[in-house]
């Protein structure tokens, strides 16, 4: 074999570099070139000199940036191979695994377009010849196919301090690009707000509770804050209820034990613990990206076990707070800052209205049912939209099956826990009752009013123990009297006309309604869209069904499901059937639900992953090492 020393001796006036190229015949070809440079043909006397010109050698990578990706399943290719799967969790940058030798061509194409949601991705700067540097300017831009109707999974939210039994997702609320999530059994003793993406790992205050704020930028969700009560104590259950409206969040802590009977405007709260489970509500406000506590709300008739904060709702500068175990037998509304100290109607329940002026909160009204009775649990659920408040009393016992427009209600008590919903309306600063809503098929233990939601002139009411086996929607004022599917559950839609009169508009049922599904345990409404949680639904499906059907599978007990309904004119139809991408038995997906425009947030308190990061995209962890840690899933409709 010819080596470099031999070549130099044959042609001393040349300086040679010996290139090893591992291709058949390449070394012989190189040697021929070198000998030719010395005169060629074996001549012993060089007749000419030449300077060798070399081409850059080596291998270089090909890559670039993906923008606009919200779906899953995108696969890029280079030169018809070297597949590169890409999802939103990988960030924008990408690089193919196989390098390309200098002088060879590259051609980047989209092999598989993303879905959930359906998108089309196009490539620019995708083809050329590799020179002497890495290719980094390939651009892949993805856009949603707006002609494709349907919901898609956008994110999987977890707490950064997720642990066993935290119940993250017990409560959830959404307003625009902001989501608030309650974790009622979180155990940190922290008493300050953390603005940012972290949370305390302390566990010295059992079930003190916490609330996490998440915010969307484009299609990417990140944690913005970790809210704690300034008087956080064990068993306060801060986050039992949560509500959000733009930059304002209201948090209920029904186990809070202060006997304070006044409002504290500012960032402090009472350290008193002489009234167990009296309850409190905390108001937080965002300025830019910074959250601070604005007020600490207490009932003026605070007493032990009233459970003030069991439910909470906010709309603009108005907050409604339910105290479902309050004991007054008052049957009239008190407009102003007072409340009845009477305790002769055990767990009759009450709702308190608070109003903000500037940064100062005051009580505006104390609402009671006109037929208030023991164990009615008035205030178990509450909702507010503008000047309208809806209050659920799921244990109200009237057997009435018609709506009363006005300020009265039935005094009948022959159908325990049939349930009722009361509509109140504000004119100026005065609240009056506008309607008393009942189900047209009201029966004992239906629990009409276990959940309630309001948006403008539309109210949605859940009755999760209703027993009809019907699997279709009834548009109109009727409902099935069938009782062959124990606690299948239902939701009723009511609408107010321009004269202020309420009527039933629809009776919603799941297309796969079955015994013990608890359809209607949670409900939310935004304009013409209603979301309904059935947290005991049993399907093991892990994909979304856009349309009017749902799985009949029953292999994942209490996995849970959420159903989306949409109104066109006065007609309601099912729009989608949502399932978690990691659905499993006892996850209880749908234990809480919220909707704002085309965004739906769903809590699953039984989800068991120990993941402590957010997954932006359509996937979720299959880990099950943190029982009841909980999760929240975000879905969007293009």
pLDDT of residue 148: 55
pLDDT of residue 529: 98
Distance between CA atoms of 504 and 506, rounded to whole angstroms?
6
Domain that holds residue 21: 4-37
Tell whether 32 is covered by a domain. yes
pLDDT of residue 149: 63
pLDDT of residue 146: 58
pLDDT of residue 58: 86
Domain count along the chain: 3
pLDDT of residue 567: 98
Q: Which residues of the chain have pLDDT under 70?
A: 1-57, 89, 116-117, 146-149
Are residue 522 and residue 425 in the same domain, yes or no?
yes
pLDDT of residue 323: 98
Q: Tell me what percent of the residues of the chain surpass a pLDDT of 70.
A: 90
For 112-137, write each residue's pLDDT tens digit: 988 766 789 999 999 999 999 999 99
Tell whether 89 is covered by a domain. yes
Domain C-terminal end among 98, 126, 144: 144
Distance between CA atoms of 136 and 100, rounded to whole angstroms?
13
Tell whether 419 is covered by a domain. yes
For 396-413, write each residue's pLDDT tens digit: 999 999 999 999 999 999
pLDDT of residue 469: 98
Tell whether 289 is covered by a domain. yes
> Given the structure tokens 């949603």, which residue do they identify?
144
- Of 237, 228, 297, the residue nearest 266 (C-alpha): 297
The strand pair at 152-157 and 502-508 is best described as unpaired
Domain C-terminal end among 144, 177, 207: 144
Instruction: Indicate the SS3 state at residue 27.
Output: helix
Tell whether 586 is covered by a domain. yes
Tell whether 439 is covered by a domain. yes
Going from the C-alpha of 602 to that of each of 117, 163, 382, 464, the distances in angstroms are 18, 19, 18, 17
Are residue 31 and residue 120 in the same domain, yes or no?
no
- Of 324, 335, 336, the residue nearest 372 (C-alpha): 324
pTM over 0.85: no
Give the CATH number of the domain where residue 99 resides: 2.60.40
Are residue 438 and residue 318 in the same domain, yes or no?
yes
């Amino acid at each position: 074999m010819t080596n470099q020393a031999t070549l130099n001796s044959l042609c001393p006036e040349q300086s040679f570099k010996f290139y090893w190229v591992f291709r058949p015949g390449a070394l012989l070809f190189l040697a021929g070139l070198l000998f030719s440079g010395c005169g060629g043909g074996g001549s012993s006397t060089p007749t000419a000199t030449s300077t060798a010109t070399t081409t850059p050698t080596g291998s270089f990578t090909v890559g670039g940036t993906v923008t606009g990706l919200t779906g899953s399943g995108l696969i890029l290719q280079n030169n018809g191979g070297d597949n590169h799967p890409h999802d939103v969790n990988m960030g924008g940058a990408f690089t193919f695994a196989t390098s390309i030798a200098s002088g060879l061509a590259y051609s980047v194409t989209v092999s598989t377009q993303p879905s959930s949601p359906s998108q089309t991705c196009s490539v620019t700067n995708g083809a050329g010849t590799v020179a002497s540097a890495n290719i980094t300017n390939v651009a892949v831009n993805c856009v949603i196919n707006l002609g494709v109707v349907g919901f898609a999974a956008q994110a999987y939210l977890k707490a950064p301090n997720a642990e066993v039994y935290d119940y993250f997702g017990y409560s959830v609320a959404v307003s625009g690009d902001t989501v608030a999530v309650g974790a009622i059994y979180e155990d940190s003793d922290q008493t300050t707000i953390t603005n940012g993406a972290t949370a305390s790992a302390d566990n010295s205050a059992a079930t003190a509770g916490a609330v996490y704020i998440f915010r969307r930028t484009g299609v990417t969700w990140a944690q913005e804050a970790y809210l704690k009560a300034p008087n956080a104590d064990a068993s306060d259950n801060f986050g039992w209820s949560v509500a959000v409206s733009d930059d304002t969040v209201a948090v209920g802590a029904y186990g809070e034990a202060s006997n304070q009977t006044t409002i504290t405007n500012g960032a402090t709260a009472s350290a008193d613990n002489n009234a167990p489970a009296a309850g409190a509500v905390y108001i937080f406000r965002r300025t830019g990206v910074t959250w601070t506590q604005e007020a600490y709300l207490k009932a003026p008739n605070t007493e032990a076990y009233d459970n003030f904060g069991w439910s909470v709702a906010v709309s603009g500068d108005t907050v409604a707070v339910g105290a479902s175990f309050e004991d007054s037998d008052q049957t009239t509304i008190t407009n102003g800052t007072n409340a009845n100290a009477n305790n002769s109607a055990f767990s009759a329940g009450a709702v308190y209205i608070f109003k903000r002026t500037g940064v100062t909160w005051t009580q505006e009204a104390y609402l009671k049912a006109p037929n208030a009775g023991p164990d009615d649990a008035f205030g178990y659920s509450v909702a507010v939209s503008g000047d309208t408040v809806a209050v659920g009393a799921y244990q109200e016992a009237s057997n009435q099956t018609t709506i009363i427009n006005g300020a009265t209600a039935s005094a009948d008590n022959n159908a325990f826990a049939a349930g009722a919903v009361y509509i109140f309306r504000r004119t100026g600063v005065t609240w009056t009752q506008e309607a008393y809503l009942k189900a047209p098929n009201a029966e004992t233990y239906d629990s009409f009013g276990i959940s309630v939601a309001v948006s403008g002139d539309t109210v949605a009411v859940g009755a999760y123990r209703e027993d009809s086996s019907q699997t279709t929607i009834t548009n109109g004022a009727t409902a099935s009297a069938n009782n062959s599917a124990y606690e299948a559950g239902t939701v009723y839609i009511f609408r107010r006309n321009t004269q202020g009169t309420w009527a039933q508009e629809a009776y919603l049922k799941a297309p796969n309604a079955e015994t013990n599904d608890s359809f209607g345990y949670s409900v939310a409404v935004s304009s013409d869209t209603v979301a309904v949680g059935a947290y005991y639904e049993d399907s093991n499906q892990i994909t979304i069904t856009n349309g009017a059907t749902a799985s009949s599978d029953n292999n994942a007990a209490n996995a849970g499901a959420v159903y989306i309904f949409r109104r066109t004119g006065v007609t309601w139809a099912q729009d989608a059937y949502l399932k978690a991408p990691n659905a499993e038995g006892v996850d209880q997906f749908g234990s809480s639900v919220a909707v704002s425009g085309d965004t739906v947030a769903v809590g699953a308190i039984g989800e068991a992953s120990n993941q402590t990061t957010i997954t932006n995209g359509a996937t979720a962890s299959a880990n099950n090492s943190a029982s009841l840690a909980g999760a929240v899933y975000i879905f969007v409709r293009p």
